[in-house]
Amino acid sequence: MKDLLKLIFICSIITSCAQNTKNNMVSSDLMKDIKQVPKAKQITYAIHVNAKTPYEIYIDDIPLPGFGRCYESGMNTTLELNPYLLGNGIHKLKVRYLPLETAKDGLLQPSDVYFNKDAKWNIFFVSYIKDTTDPLGYKGEIDYENSELTVVPPPNAVPFWDQVFELDIKDLPYELEGWSNSQDLSKIDEDKLSKGVFSFYNEIREVMNNGDVEKYFNMNSKSDKEIAVATFDNDLEWYTSDERKNEIINDCKDNMLPINKEDYNLKIYGYGKIIAIERIKKFKNNSLIARKRIEDNTRYFAYSFKLHKPKGSDTFEIIRK
């Protein structure tokens, strides 16, 4: 099983490296003051899961992107935590185990989570230093035997089961502001909040639909800069390359679907500091969708944005994807 874990982990690392390179686009001026961290201190924290059921995973009350929310059984993946870790300290990881797709009563059974020691959920909390020159994608060995978190199944059948783990993060070489000083959005009038949030997402959509790349980069600048710091990205020239600009123009210009409120949920995360609109059914949990016709085929591109409102500000900002 350890060999299988290693193979899956390597594939996840390679995929993550590629996504980090593609997704972090900011202006070169904003990247000038990023200090390069010595390789030996570029610690990446992650969890690796062997999931026996559908699930949702949150770090400090924020859903992890991509396969952080998966509604099919049998997913094996590595989820990097750094983009959502603002600094060292105790961070809370919540795993929500969901019922099997085949559950006739719609309930999660204890045996779905833990049948026996060889047939159960596995969650590993690991850290490593990425190394693209190493065949494994990271330096050294990962001690799976001593990094597994203890999974506790529900005592009886339930609609879902939450388990919270406290992760002691000690070795991050950075500290980010993120949403730490943001307003508590849960205290704002619900109708006023909804109106302001949907208005801002419509502004993002309009910028993307117009192909206004520079404005799009500026709207994402704080988020992208912090992610670049957290992921130790040193390929900063990529962020303003013509290739990346052309991708936004080619995929999004005149292709963005309208935002219909009835298709979305308004979700507050980060203990009240972060908010997002998320599609309910098709393209579940994503914020905005581009639809592009390519010859006789239709392709869709999904985008997610999480917002915050800095203290003293009347406007929202994109703070993470």
Q: What is the pLDDT along the chain (321 residues), one digit of tens a residue?
A: 545 455 555 555 544 444 444 434 344 566 667 888 999 999 999 999 999 999 999 999 999 999 999 999 999 999 999 999 999 999 999 999 999 999 999 999 999 999 999 999 999 999 999 887 877 778 778 888 899 999 999 999 999 999 999 999 999 999 999 999 999 999 999 999 999 999 999 999 999 999 999 999 999 999 989 999 999 988 777 777 788 788 889 999 999 999 999 999 999 999 999 999 999 999 999 999 999 988 889 999 999 999 999 999 999 999 999
DSSP state of 147: T
Q: How far is CA 266 from CA 126, 162, 189, 206, 289, in A?
A: 32, 21, 13, 20, 16
pLDDT at 20: 42
Distance, in Å, from the CA atom of 112 to the CA atom of 98, rounded to the nearest integer, reads 9
pLDDT at 13: 55
Q: Are 80 and 118 in contact (CB under 8 A)?
A: no
Distance, in Å, from the CA atom of 98 to the CA atom of 57, rounded to the nearest integer, reads 11
Does this model's pTM top 0.75? My answer is yes
Rg (CA), the chain: 20
pLDDT at 23: 39
Distance, in Å, from the CA atom of 150 to the CA atom of 138, rounded to the nearest integer, reads 25
pLDDT at 6: 52
Burial 286-304, CB ≥16 within 10 A → b, else e = bbbbbeeeeeeeeeebebb
> Domain locations in the chain?
38-169, 185-320
Side chain identity at residue 35, one-letter code: K
Phi/psi for 74 (5° steps) reads 85, 15
* Residue found by looking up tokens 């799976």 in the block: 144
Distance, in Å, from the CA atom of 34 to the CA atom of 26, rounded to the nearest integer, reads 12
Distance, in Å, from the CA atom of 73 to the CA atom of 52, rounded to the nearest integer, reads 5
pLDDT at 21: 40
3-state SS track over 204-234:
HHHHHHCCCHHHHHHHCHHHHHHHHHHCCCC
Return all residues near 311 (Cβ < 8 A) that are at least 6 apart.
Answer: 181, 182, 183
Q: Domain 185-320 belongs to what topology?
A: Nuclear Transport Factor 2; Chain: A, (3.10.450)
